Amino acid sequence: MKVLVVGGGGREHTLVWKLKKSPRVDKIYCAPGNGGIARDAKCIPIAAEDIKGLADFAEREKIDLTVVGPEVPLVAGIGDTFASRGLKLFGPKAKAALLEGSKVFAKEKMVKYGLRTAAFEVFKDTSKAISFVRKLAGPCVVKADGLAAGKGVIIAKNTEEAEEAVRLIMEKRAFGEAGNSVVVEELLKGEEVSVLAFTDGKTIKPLAASQDHKRVYDRDEGPNTGGMGAYSPPPVYTDDLHEQVFREVLEPVIYGLAADGIQYKGVIYAGLILTEKGPYVLEFNCRFGDPETQVVLPRLKTDLIEVMEAVVDERLDDVQLEWDSRAAVCVVMASGGYPGSYAKGEVISGLDELPPNVLDFHAGTALVGEQLLTDGGRVLGITGFGATIEEAVQSTYVGVEKIHFEGMHYRRDIAHRALKKGLGTCGSA
Ligand code: AMP
Ligand code: GLY
């Protein structure tokens, strides 16, 4: 088979790495890919957002399956374009991807299908949003409706910050069109868990759960990032909780959409917060998480191409997902200054000294001649394994410490919540 992976970050490198293990895959392309992905796939200089360019390429090269990493092309309808041209693609069509593309749409569906989510109001008008946050007179969360590269969510500690957030989104248009509407919602407290599931619209097969680390510094301090590390499985996500989330979140959303005439095919990502009142849904994404993928897919023993084809052909019921019982930990190594502005083009050294059981997934690297250089904010995701989370943490940081590039920084406390609880052991997926 010939496979095309769309995107060029750590998530896509992991997808390429996993797909390449399939005996059925002969050739993998990645558009646009990056310096590390070039090791495992042929990189093609087509942007992930260039839907027509990607469809033309898939047609010309007779690609058997295209796998989409990022949300932007999915929300823009790459699934619809490929379907209309008779090309096979793994990922939801635009109507289903709206679950990530519009927070207003997602919240309205959550209410309609009876999912637990933060209490909220939607506003199209700045002054109404401002009078509402004044009435709340306390902390809240202000969210731009549309896609904002993970930056459109502002946690406001008080009324002043909430007003400022509303103005930033609606008046200053910090996220452009994404700020035509805002969602103002209740601030929830609890540990977060990322739960992903494959679905063909009829059958739902959850993946092993994981936990992301969004803040840039240790102890969850500093600004939010795209994710500084992840681990799987999070001990806080017990088997009982998993059962509850399956019945109360995954089934109602997939079957609710189906009843509304929207077939969801691909992978769905539920961002959950485990509150005192039980699991609440913070958001849905229409794709794999980044960096969650870097710990979840290496634990999947099943051939990924078999699973993806079963999703596309609507026979997911035939597939069993098998999981490696070892824990996995991923530490993201970022450029100096990230998530603010940062330099590119720093020389990366030490990758050849990684222990054999430690994986390097590239997020922002470029191969210039023989030299591997930094080329993004998040540069590398280093993934290690262990019989316990503690052991996986140790083996990952042994790898991390081999690597060097000017200005690099990374968190030293990935998986701290699991370790603090003394829950270093690893149960089922
Ligand atoms: P979202 O893109 O909606 O998941 O928001 C990004 C991040 O903001 C989440 O992962 C949470 O850390 C935080 N967040 C979003 N909504 C809430 C909420 N209602 N209460 C507390 N934290 C939230
Ligand atoms: N790691 C968060 C996300 O992929 O949205």
* pLDDT one-digit tens code per residue, 279-321: 999 999 999 999 999 999 999 999 999 999 999 999 999 999 9
Instruction: Tell me which architecture the domain covering 125-180 has in CATH.
Output: 2-Layer Sandwich (3.30)
**pLDDT per residue over 29-48, tens digit each?**
999 999 999 999 999 999 99
Q: Which atom of ligand 2 is nearest to the CA of 283?
A: 5
Length of the chain measured in residues = 429
**369 Cα–ligand 2 center, Å:** 32
Please choose from 225, 290, 295, 411 the residue to mutate so as to test ligand 2's pocket, defined by most ligand atoms within 8 A of CB: 290
**pLDDT per residue over 145-157, tens digit each?**
889 887 788 888 9
Is residue 123 predicted with pLDDT exceeding 90?
no
Q: Hey, which residues does 192 pair with through a beta bridge? A: 273
265 or 128, which is more confident? 265
Name the residue with the closest Cα to ligand 2, atom 4. 289
Work out the widest C-alpha separation in the chain, in whole angstroms: 60
pLDDT cut 90: percent of the chain above it: 82
Judge residue 12's burial from the number of C-beta atoms within 10 Å of its C-beta, 0-12 exposed, 13-18 middle, 19 or more buried: buried
Q: Is the CB of 185 under 6 A from ligand 1?
A: yes
16 or 125, which is more confident? 16
Residue limits of CATH 3.30.1490.20 in the chain = 125-180
Instruction: Tell me which architecture the domain covering 191-421 has in CATH.
Output: 2-Layer Sandwich (3.30)
Q: Is the CB of 133 under 6 A from ligand 1?
A: no
Q: Which atom of ligand 2 is nearest to the CA of 11?
A: 4
Q: Is the CB of 99 under 6 A from ligand 1?
A: no
Is residue 428 predicted with pLDDT exceeding 90?
no
Is residue 429 predicted with pLDDT exceeding 60?
no
Please choose from 283, 287, 290, 417 the residue to mutate so as to test ligand 1's pocket, defined by most ligand atoms within 8 A of CB: 283
Half-sphere exposure of 47 (CA within 13 A, CB side): 4
Is residue 325 predicted with pLDDT exceeding 60?
yes
**323 Cα–ligand 2 center, Å:** 21
> Which run of H or of E encompasses 194?
strand 191-199
Rg over CA atoms, the chain: 21
Whole-number mean pLDDT of the chain?
94
Question: What is the pLDDT averaged over residues 46-53?
Answer: 98
Q: Which atom of ligand 2 is nearest to the CA of 289?
A: 4
Q: Is the CB of 89 under 6 A from ligand 1?
A: no
**CATH number of the 2-93 domain:** 3.40.50.20
Measured CA to CA, the distance from residue 230 to residue 64 in angstroms comes to 31
Residue limits of CATH 3.40.50.20 in the chain = 2-93
Question: What is the pLDDT averaged over residues 167-183?
Answer: 85
**pLDDT per residue over 386-427, tens digit each?**
999 999 999 999 999 999 999 999 999 999 999 986 554 444
Residue limits of CATH 3.30.470.20 in the chain = 191-421
Q: What is the pLDDT of residue 329?
A: 98
Is residue 219 predicted with pLDDT exceeding 50?
yes
> Which run of H or of E encompasses 127?
helix 126-136
Name the residue with the closest Cα to ligand 1, atom 15. 282
Q: Hey, which residues does 296 pair with through a beta bridge? A: none
Q: Place 132 in a pLDDT band, splitting at 50, 70 and 90.
A: confident
Q: What is the pLDDT of residue 425?
A: 47
Measured CA to CA, the distance from residue 49 to residue 174 in angstroms comes to 21
Measured CA to CA, the distance from residue 299 to residue 297 in angstroms comes to 5
**pLDDT per residue over 363-391, tens digit each?**
999 999 989 999 999 999 999 999 999 99
**305 Cα–ligand 2 center, Å:** 22
Measured CA to CA, the distance from residue 275 to residue 252 in angstroms comes to 20
Pocket around ligand 2 at a 6 A CB cut-off: 212, 227, 285, 289-290, 292
Measured CA to CA, the distance from residue 230 to residue 411 in angstroms comes to 11
Q: Is the CB of 100 under 6 A from ligand 1?
A: no
Name which of 113-122, 168-177, 208-217, 227-236 the model is least confident about. 168-177
57 or 169, which is more confident? 57
